[in-house]
Structure formats: C-alpha cells, structure tokens
Amino acid sequence: MTSILSAIDYPTFKTKKLKVFIKRDDLIHPIISGNKWRKLKHNLLQAKAENKNTIISFGGAFSNHIHALAYACKVNNLSCIGIIRGEQEYQNNFTLSWARHWGMQLKFVDRKTYKLRSDANYLKDLQQQYPHAMIVPEGGSNALALEGVGDVITELAEQAEYDYLLTPVGSGGTLAGLIKADNNKHKILGIAVLKQQGYLTDEVNALLGKDQGIFDNWQILNDFHCGGYGKYKTADANRILEFINSTGIPFEPVYSGKMILALLDLIAQNYFSEDSTIVLLHTGGIQGLGGMAERGLIDPSLWPVPEGVTDNT
C-alpha cells in the first residue's frame, strides 16, 4: 500500500527557497496508520508463517503501537496480549478502550517489571508461558519491521527526487529501516522526541546489526525534544497548531509535531542550503490526541482529535 507524497505550501519555505514535501503515511490506513502499519506488516506475516495464534507486545497506557496492534490482530484473526506499563485504572482510557474493544487482553505491570521487556530471561519465560505466541518488541521495532519501513524508500524513488528525509524517532525502528533501504543515497535526519545520551543511536545501530558500519548518511538530532518524551511548552503547541492551520495537515505534539518544530528551527538556522528538497515522513500517531484530550492536556476544539469507541465500530 503506497502513501501519497504532497508538496507543502508554507511561506517560510518559499522565503528560504526550499521545496518541502510530506509523505502521508498517516493516511495509509484509518487505524493502523503511519509507521505502525509499516512495522507490523512483516511481523504479522511471519506470525502466520510460523502458525502462531497470538501476538504479545509491550507499550505504555497511551501507546500508538498497542492501539494499532490490537486492530491489526483483529483483522488478521490473531489473538493479542498487551503488556502495559501502568495501573489497571488505565484500562478505560481512550487508547486502551479501543484495544480492548478490538479484543486485546491487557496485562498491567509495574515499571520494574516493564524494564525487563528486552531481558533475555524474561522473554524466555514469557515464551514458555505462551508457546504459540510471537513476541514483538515495544514499538514493533525489530528486523522484520525494517523491511516494511524500507518500502517508504522504494515508494519515494518513484515519487520525487530529494536531498533530505526527516522522521521523528522514538524507538529507532523507523529510522533504521529508512537508513538500510536508502543505502547512503540521501541525507536522513532523525528527530529525537525524548531526552537521551546516545541511547537512540545505539538502538538504531543494534537494529542495523552487522551492516551498521556501511551507512554514514544519517544523524539523530537531539535538541528538539521540547523537554522530554511527551513534553512541550504552550509556545511549542501553538507553533504546531499554526502549522496545522496553515497547511491543513494534522499533527500531534509528541512525535510528528516535534519534527515540524525541528524543521522550522533548522530552516531558521540556515541548516539547509537554498534549492534543497526536503521530505518529511508523517508517522501517524494522531490517535494519541484522544488520550491527551481526555487528560486535559490539549483543547480538543483546537486539535484533530479522533472519535472514541462506539458500539458499531
């Protein structure tokens, strides 16, 4: 499934003589949108090839990954279990209500247990407990995910010539998939959405594995997280909202919105030379606005908040 590439008409871009396009992966699917569709595609195919009947994965109480996985498993006739960081009280929030609506079984764990999500012994015990299940990492980021994300590069080759490709980075899977598929043909910039000291670089290199030394065309920019994961100031939100209202493209302030802020700041710093062509990858995540509105973190009249669970969905 190919997503469209659209030119963005914005005054600053014209002033700086830049061409900016956006790859609308948020429109791939109304529910399994953005990078989640890309990352889950081959994981689900592999699960079926191995005759697995269940997918187990991990996420926070407002996780885009958990939300998408629940629906993906429903339409693929697979059972699914979400191991959720947090308390049972979260089960009725916007994201997890949808996950339960689509049939996901939720298992809540404390932060200490959740930190074991990549521990080999913990995963071995979990696999023994559920022998017919396939375990997918947090965010869906594994070797199988890279292949699906790589389709973005294949599609872009047919859609435009460009110099830079920008993407928000949370777990590293999307960035790693882009790097591997691009094979040093373009400059790829990952915008870190959380505070970290080399953590994401290590995660990307781990996903690239033995190939990591081959690629030198990428960089993670760490100065645009707005204070940390899920954090931002009112001024940041207002800048994102202004961009939404100007372009008509929906964003949220946790992932894709921070990419927009980074782009605008980089342009103001003359990071890009005149006549450069920049592609932004919209990685979805709009469902997250539902939980933010629910918690009073945003004004739902200003943001493109999706609808909640209905009986006929």
CATH number at residue 206: 3.40.50.1100
Q: What are phi and psi of 72, to 5 degrees?
A: -60, -40
Q: How many domains does the chain have?
A: 2
198-222 pLDDT, tens per residue? 889 999 999 999 999 999 999 999 9
- Domain final position from 140, 163, 193: 140
Residue at 227 is within a domain: yes
Q: How many CB atoms lie within 10 A of CB 296?
A: 8
Q: Give yes or no: residues 180 and 280 share one domain.
A: yes
275, 17 contact by CB (below 8 A): yes
Does residue 112 lie in a domain region?
A: yes
Asked if residue 136 belongs to a domain, the reply is: yes
Q: Give the CA radius of gyration of the chain.
A: 19
Residue 129 half-sphere exposure, CB side, CA atoms within 13 Å?
10
- In terms of domains, do 118 and 163 share one? no
Check whether residue 164 and residue 40 sit in a common domain. Answer: no
Residues 22 and 42 placed together within one structural domain of the fold: no
- Reported as a single tens digit per residue, the pLDDT across 56-87 is 999 999 999 999 999 999 999 999 999 999 99
Q: Is residue 181 domain-shared with residue 134, that is, in the same domain? A: no
pTM value surpassing 0.85: yes
- Claim to verify: residue 169 and residue 60 sit in the same structural domain: no
Q: For 230-277, what is each residue's pLDDT tens digit?
A: 999 999 999 999 999 999 999 999 999 999 999 999 999 999 999 999
State the residue range of the domain holding 101. Answer: 34-140
User: Does 304 map to a domain?
Assistant: no
H or E segment and range at residue 200: helix 199-208
Residues 192 and 67 in one domain: no
